[in-house]
Amino acid sequence: MTMVYEKSKGLTDVPFHYCPGCTHGVIHKLVAETLVELGVLEDAIGVAPVGCSVLAYKYFNCDMQEAAHGRAPAVATGIKRVHPENVVFTYQGDGDLASIGTAEIVHAAHRGEKFTTIFVNNAIYGMTGGQMAPTTLIGQKTTTSPLGRTVEHSGMPIRMSEMLATIDGAKFVERVSVDTPANIRKAKKAIKRAFECQIQGKGFAIVEVLSTCPTNWGYTPVKALGWLQENMIPYYPLGNFRDFEEDK
């Protein structure tokens, strides 16, 4: 019998707790596969955020630290400065990275810290029950924007990739989505490149992944993918904002 599909060795056997249709799981798989394919799983040290993916420290099959809300880039800085030869990554949601942890991510990028950040943007606070995030779209209803987000009250949704791409130390910045098989393949490629950026010692690398939260958006998994395509992608355009030169 030939094996056609196998769970990545980069993931442990602990079952995911994510809601049905949540794309956090797909993103975990892509990160895990990348670590294995690059042969760095045994050198990897990951930092989990506070958010729905808080338990990522149980899922990734490598050494892990659990950070305070938003502080993963500072924790990763501490780890990478102690172990410059290891491959260090953070996995963070949009509340974690784009709200409470903006200072930490901006300055890690600014210093050109040589770690990789996987930034999961689902336009909402998943774990705490669907409150507004800085990434919540205009008109989007959440439990703390019950009539829909307005510009007057909360400003425009923050575009982290565009902002981080202006920073010199950020050597790889790309926004991807995991809504279709084709986009998942592109996401995997970007994640791989973001880790290569670190391995080659280029500087800070981040991949923003547009992700669904069927539970708090109040849609079925399929409808949630449609909502992401119709609403998130137009405001958060996919594509590369920064790439580094290959070492010849």
Partner 1 sequence: MSKVLMKGNEAVGAAAIKAGCRYFFGYPITPSSEIPEYMSKALPEVGGVFLQAESEVAAINMVYGAGGAGARVMTGSSSPGISLKQEGITYAAGAEIPCVIVNMMRGGPGLGSIQPGQADYYQSTRGGGNGDYRTLCYAPASIQETVDYVMLAFDKADEYRNPVLICADGMIGQMMEAVEFKENLNKNLPAKDWATTGTKGKREKNIVNSLFLEAELCEDHNIRLEKKYKLMEENEVLYEAFGLEDADVVCVAYGTTSRIVKTAIKLAAAKGIKVGIIRPITLWPYPYAIYKDINPNCKGILGVEMSQGQIMDDIKIGIEGRMPVYFHGRTGGMVPTPAGILAEIEKIAGGTK
Out of 32, 47, 94, 202, the residue judged to bind ligand TPP by CB under 6 A: 94
Q: Which does 12 bind (CB under 5 to 8 A by kind): partner 1, ligand TPP, ligand SF4, none?
A: partner 1
111 vs 223, beta carbon nearer partner 1: 111
27 vs 197, beta carbon nearer ligand SF4: 27
Binding region for ligand TPP (CB under 6 A) out of 8-16, 26-34, 51-59, 167-175 = 51-59
Integer-rounded Cα radius of gyration of the chain: 17
Residues contacting ligand TPP: total by CB under 6 A: 17
If binding is defined by CB under 6 A, does position 69 make contact with ligand TPP?
A: yes
Out of 10, 95, 134, 157, the residue judged to bind ligand TPP by CB under 6 A: 95
Q: Which does 65 bind (CB under 5 to 8 A by kind): ligand TPP, partner 1, ligand SF4, none?
A: partner 1
Count CA within 13 A, CB hemisphere, residue 231: 20
If binding is defined by CB under 6 A, does position 93 make contact with ligand TPP?
A: yes
Q: Which does 233 bind (CB under 5 to 8 A by kind): ligand SF4, ligand TPP, partner 1, none?
A: none
Q: Which does 96 bind (CB under 5 to 8 A by kind): ligand TPP, ligand SF4, partner 1, none?
A: ligand TPP
Residues engaged in binding ligand TPP (CB under 6 A): 50-53, 69, 93-96, 120, 122, 124-128, 133
